[in-house]
Amino acid sequence: MNSDRHTHLRALVILGGIVFIFLLVRGPVAWQQSGGQDEEWYAVPGLMVAEEGVPRVPYARASQEGSVFLGAERMLLAMPPAAFYAQAPFFLALPATYGTARMASLLAGCIAIVTVFGFGREWFADDRVGLWGAGIYSLTRLLFFPATFARPDMLCGMFGLLAVWGVARWTNVRSLRWVVLAGVCLGLAGLSHPFAIVFAMQLFPWVLVVSRGIRERALTFIVLSLTTGLTFASWLPMIVSAPDLFRLQFLNNILAPAGPGLLARLLMPWDSFTHHLPMLIDRTHPIQFAMLLGGWLVFGMMIWRSRRMEAATPMLRDANLRETCGTSGLTCWLLAGSSVYLLIACQGEHPIQGYWCYSAGLFCLCLAAVVVRTVDTFSLSHRTTQTPSPFRRRVANGLALLMIVLAMLPGSGVRTILAYARHAGDLNYQNAAFVASILEDLPVDAQLTVGIEFALEAYGIRSAAGRPDDIILGIRHPLYFDSTRIPTNYAILGRLALAEQLDDAFNGELVSTYGDPDDEFSCYAEVYRIR
């Protein structure tokens, strides 16, 4: 018992190291870099919740019918609000920047890593699987991107993993409190993004299949349904207060991009697969994609070939756990594979890819089980006596770690990390300081149209000065609005706005430039005086 406790404490220390390294590597870049995709819409509502209690986009000016963000300056209902309320505590303590909004995603990423570790104990009764899974997960691009952007992706994926963990815990201890936890997390996932329907489509059949008898099956289904529904219903007062805005924003933002025919896509998902798989491979990186898919396939073969699935489970000392954990290994494998199918079918033509952080956690566990099984096999000094060699185990663990780290390096953001480290203290690599330097050179009473990379920082500075209405989001998109039609004095345009040719649309006079246009990691802006 003392040995097991010592081993578990050692695993927790290693887990803490994994989370610390993740924060050390990802945190500085998330804190300093300019705004990215959709962050202009999903970061500032957290600031508004902190200041006013209601999510909105104060620098939006949408007026045309069909705009996703029509009326968003009054209230944002295009997306469920959990992510905004998760950001609010950080805005109460930290400045109004994109970096502050990203802290909620970064924290969710850390919790997701810990949750993946927790599956090692619940599904495999082995902390080694949890540690390998958490370590691999912390290195994947599918965690890297959503955990470092102010979007709801990471929060939704985290709650999805927690909901799965709750049901996994319930299957082992049969206490309804874990079903309640799963339901609350499932509801919170829905309050983060409607793609949480994927988690529901997995969890409800799961509890029905593993329940023992009609009474338990009915009770767990009812408890899971009630806790999920009641949690999600906390959004209703906000919807009821502005039903027209909800209809215009939510339907145009969520349902329209996915397209009609969810049932048809579930039955015949081929078109959706051909649409999403190339993007998924690119998002994951081909090497990481091959490694995660290969681990899932090998783990499936281990389950298939094993007698009572024992070979799919790490070498357990307690023979009574083998059947339970072998079945749990199959559960992990099925949930991982079905999550890809369901996410692709539910997304339809929707282009967002951050929600793969959920599937990635499950796939990393499958790969981790393969790694642990391989290390155990390699560690046997005498196959006939099944005697493990500590030296061979250390060598096997070291080789496995080296191979995984090398496979994860391409596309891991190493160049970005090194660039920010080399230029520590340079305001061109600190978005908040960069924007402040631009605003210092402009009249304090000027109306400013600001590109998406700098909009939140500019709004925060002008709002603190008592002039929040001076900032207009610089954007030109048929589904959003066209800021070039709105009167302004100056336009502060970053690379994204320049790529959309907003400088030509404004037809203004270039008065100054900031940053290095040739360094992709440096902030860069052009300031135009609008005639």
Helix, strand, coil abundance in the chain, percent, nearest 5: 70, 5, 25
What's the distance, CA 150 to chain centroid?
A: 9
Highest mean pLDDT among 239-248, 392-401, 432-441: 432-441
Q: What percent of the chain has pLDDT over 90?
A: 72
Nearest to 363 by CA among 299, 287, 320, 283: 299
Measured between its terminal Cα atoms, the distance across the chain in Å is 78
Q: List, as own/partner pairs, every contact residues 513-518 make where C-beta atoms lie below 8 angstroms and the sequence separation is at least 24, other chains included.
A: 514/428, 514/434, 514/437, 514/438, 515/428, 515/434, 516/428
pLDDT attached to residue 319: 38
Provide the 10 A C-beta neighbour count for residue 142: 27
Higher pLDDT, residue 150 or 344? 150
pLDDT at 336 over 80: yes
pLDDT at 316 over 50: no
Helices marked H in 233-321: 236-241, 243-250, 256-258, 262-267, 270-284, 286-305
User: Which tens digit of pLDDT belongs to each residue from 286-300?
Assistant: 999 999 999 999 999
Q: Which range, 213-217, 229-233, 351-355, 482-486, is most confident?
A: 229-233
d(CA 74, CA 245): 9
- Residue 8 pLDDT level (bands cut at 50, 70, 90): confident
* Integer Cα distance of 417 and 252 in angstroms: 37
Predicted local distance difference test score (pLDDT) of residue 324: 41
pTM, two decimal places? 0.93
Task: Check residue 531 and report its DSSP letter.
Answer: -
Does residue 17 come out as left (phi exceeding 0), alpha (psi in the -120 to 50 range) or beta? alpha
**Buried residues in 469-483 as b, exposed as e (16+ CB within 10 A):** ebbbbbbbeeebbbb
Q: Looking at residues 458-477, what average pLDDT do you find?
A: 93
What residues contact 515, with CB distance under 8 A and at least 6 apart? Answer: 428, 434, 522, 523, 524, 525
Band the pLDDT of 131: cuts 50, 70, 90: very high
Residue 257 is predicted with a pLDDT of 56
Mean pLDDT value across residues 27-36 = 94
Confidence tier at 348 by pLDDT (50, 70, 90): confident
Percent of the chain with pLDDT over 70: 91
Average pLDDT estimate for 326-355: 84
Average pLDDT over the chain, rounded to whole?
Answer: 89
- Alpha-carbon distance 368 to 131, whole Å? 8
12 has a pLDDT exceeding 80: yes
Distance CA 489, CA 131 (A): 55
Least trusted range by pLDDT, from 13-22, 302-311, 396-405: 302-311
Both tokens of 319, joined, read 């023979």
Distances (CA, A) of 466 to 46, 50, 393: 19, 17, 63
Digit-coded pLDDT (tens) for 62-118: 888 778 899 999 999 999 999 999 999 999 999 999 999 999 999 999 999 999 999
Domain boundaries, the chain: 2-32+77-235+243-415, 38-76+423-531
Q: What is the pLDDT of residue 163?
A: 98
DSSP state of 300: H
Q: What is the CA radius of gyration of the chain?
A: 25
Render pLDDT for 252-280 as a digit per residue (tens, 0 to 9): 777 655 555 666 677 777 777 887 888 89
pLDDT in tens, 41-68: 999 999 999 999 999 999 999 888 778 8
Q: What does the alpha-carbon distance between residue 93 and residue 100 come to, in Å, rounded to a whole number?
A: 9
Q: Which of 423, 302, 446 is nearest to 370 (CA)?
A: 302
Residues with Cβ within 8 Å of residue 302, at least 6 apart in sequence: 311, 312, 369, 370, 373
Measured between alpha carbons, how far is 331 from 399 in angstroms, rounded to an integer? Answer: 29
Q: Is the pLDDT of residue 325 over 70?
A: no
SS3 track for 211-252? CCHHHHHHHHHHHHHHHHHHHHHHHHHHHHHCHHHHHHHHHH
Tokens of 255: 């349902």
Residue 308, pLDDT > 70, answer: no
In angstroms, the Cα distances linking 400 to 11, 258, 323, 461, 490 are 18, 40, 27, 49, 55
The CA distance from 195 to 42, in Å, is 16
Band (pLDDT 50/70/90 cuts) for residue 455 is very high
- Quote the CA–CA distance of 295 and 292 in Å, as a whole number: 5
* CA–CA dist 26, 49 (Å, integer): 26
pLDDT at 144: 95
Largest CA distance in the chain: 86
Reported confidence tier of residue 321, pLDDT bands at 50, 70, 90: very low
pLDDT of residue 2: 54
Which ranges constitute the DSSP H helices of 60-152? 82-93, 98-124, 127-139, 141-147
